[in-house]
């Protein structure tokens, strides 16, 4: 499990644009258990330890996602919904710091976040009654968001979008392939709907109220009629909105608490770019869109999961 950290850091600080362009290894990704994992951020040994030793509790909550699918947004919503009786929106820790992730100090229910695919989660999570919320997003916006992020984190202003796009289509991207990541959680959400909620960035944008209420109910923290009447749902939505989070002082000036590559400590700013649905239209050609659509059609052909 990882906290709100960059998952795209490389173990080669001076990676050149051409090297980054050529393959996933140049971006510090390692193929492990069928996925491309950022080995510098999440060494495979720590994944094995997590799989073996992590003890899930029945009331644990796990926010799961592929990078750039809406992790920051969903984490803020889940934390705020679950802790709304402990804090007010003016003193909630999200205003100033990352929540304390020391396992022994996290109050119940513990809220974790991970980019790991379902197949890599600890067995204790799969056996427990804990809740997993997965968020996904249309892959066209994900690839554009990812490209901006990698360029920012690695200081690669000239890295061509085409190279990032090609890697994405081959499945060679952080925690990719995208389709296998989404399918793992999708299939489990169909099999165990009371334990795994499958959410979409676009639906959360389109109908924030209905989706936030759905999320709160799933987490077993439903809004009371009184709360709905006095506008708590909208207050939480507004607090967690792109515009509000982006403008918090901690997100304008803050940096990740740690990085194993000191020169590449990402600032919080990088997690807030445009926050829009469909921005890919400004970056991807119709041919590229068709290409990725065809890849998805093929990879998801056996499943009921679709992306527009």
Ligand X SMILES: Nc1ncnc2c1ncn2[C@@H]1O[C@H](COP(=O)(O)OS(=O)(=O)O)[C@@H](OP(=O)(O)O)[C@H]1O
**Rounded CA separation 201/67 (Å):** 12
Among 81, 120, 143, 240, binds ligand X (CB under 6 A): 240
Q: Give the residue with the Cβ less far from ligand X, 27 or 245.
A: 245
148 has catalytic annotation = no
**Rounded CA separation 32/241 (Å):** 35
- Dihedral sign for Cα atoms in the order 40, 45, 51, 53: negative
- State yes or no: cis peptide before 109, omega within 30 of 0: yes
User: What's the min distance (Å) between Cβ of 302 and ligand X?
Assistant: 27
Catalytic residue, candidates 115, 154, 181, 268: 115
Among 50, 73, 112, 307, binds ligand X (CB under 6 A): 73
Contact 123, 25 (CB under 8 A): no
Q: Which of 150, 148, 136 is nearest to 178 (CA)?
A: 136
Among 41, 68, 110, 200, binds ligand X (CB under 6 A): 68
Locate the DSSP E strands across 77-143: 111-114, 131-136
Containing 63, the helix (H) or strand (E) segment is strand 61-65
User: What's the min distance (Å) between Cβ of 9 and ligand X?
Assistant: 11
Q: Give the residue with the Cβ less far from ligand X, 17 or 275.
A: 275
User: What's the min distance (Å) between Cβ of 266 and ligand X?
Assistant: 9
Instruction: State the Rg of the chain over Cα.
Output: 19
The one segment of 18-26, 60-68, 206-214, 288-296 that binds ligand X by CB under 6 A: 60-68
Q: Which of 122, 98, 123, 124 is nearest to 111 (CA)?
A: 98
Among 38, 67, 109, 117, binds ligand X (CB under 6 A): 67
Site for ligand X in 125-154 (CB under 6 A): 141, 145, 148
Among 71, 80, 189, 208, binds ligand X (CB under 6 A): 71
Among 119, 267, 275, 283, binds ligand X (CB under 6 A): 275
What is the DSSP code (8-state) at residue 85? Answer: T
**Rounded CA separation 266/148 (Å):** 13
The one segment of 12-20, 54-62, 71-79, 190-198 that binds ligand X by CB under 6 A: 71-79
300, two tokens: 């998801």
Q: Give the residue with the Cβ less far from ligand X, 128 or 283.
A: 283
In the complex, which residues of this chain contact ligand X (CB under 6 A)? 65, 67-73, 141, 145, 148, 240-242, 245, 271-275, 279
Catalogue the active-site residues: 115
């Amino acid at each position: 499990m990882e906290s709100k950290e960059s998952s795209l850091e490389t173990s080669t600080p001076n990676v050149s644009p051409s090297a980054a362009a050529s393959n996933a290894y140049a971006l510090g990704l390692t193929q492990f258990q069928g996925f491309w994992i950022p080995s510098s951020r999440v060494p495979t040994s720590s994944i094995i330890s997590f799989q073996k030793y992590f003890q899930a509790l029945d009331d644990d909550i796990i926010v799961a996602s592929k990078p750039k699918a809406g992790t920051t947004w969903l984490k803020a919503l889940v934390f705020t919904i679950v802790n709304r009786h402990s804090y007010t929106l003016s003193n909630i820790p999200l205003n100033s710091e990352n929540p304390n992730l020391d396992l022994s100090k996290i109050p119940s229910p513990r809220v974790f976040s991970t980019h790991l695919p379902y197949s890599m989660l600890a067995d204790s999570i799969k056996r427990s009654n804990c809740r997993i919320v997965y968020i996904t997003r249309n892959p066209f916006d994900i690839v554009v968001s990812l490209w901006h992020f990698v360029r920012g984190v690695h200081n690669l202003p000239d890295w061509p979008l085409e190279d990032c796009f090609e890697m994405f289509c081959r499945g060679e991207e952080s925690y990719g392939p995208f389709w296998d990541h989404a399918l793992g959680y999708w299939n489990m959400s169909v099999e165990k709907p009371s334990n795994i909620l499958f959410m979409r960035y676009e639906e959360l944008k389109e109908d924030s109220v209905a989706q936030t209420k759905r999320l709160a109910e799933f987490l077993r923290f439903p809004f009371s009629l009184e709360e709905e009447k006095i506008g708590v749902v909208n207050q939480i939505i507004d607090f967690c909105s792109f515009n509000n989070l982006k403008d918090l002082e901690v997100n304008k000036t803050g940096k990740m608490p740690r990085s194993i590559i000191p020169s590449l400590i990402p600032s919080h700013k990088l997690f807030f770019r445009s926050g829009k649905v469909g921005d890919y239209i400004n970056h991807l050609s119709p041919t590229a869109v068709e290409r990725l659509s065809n890849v998805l059609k093929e990879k998801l052909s056996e499943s009921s999961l679709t992306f527009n």
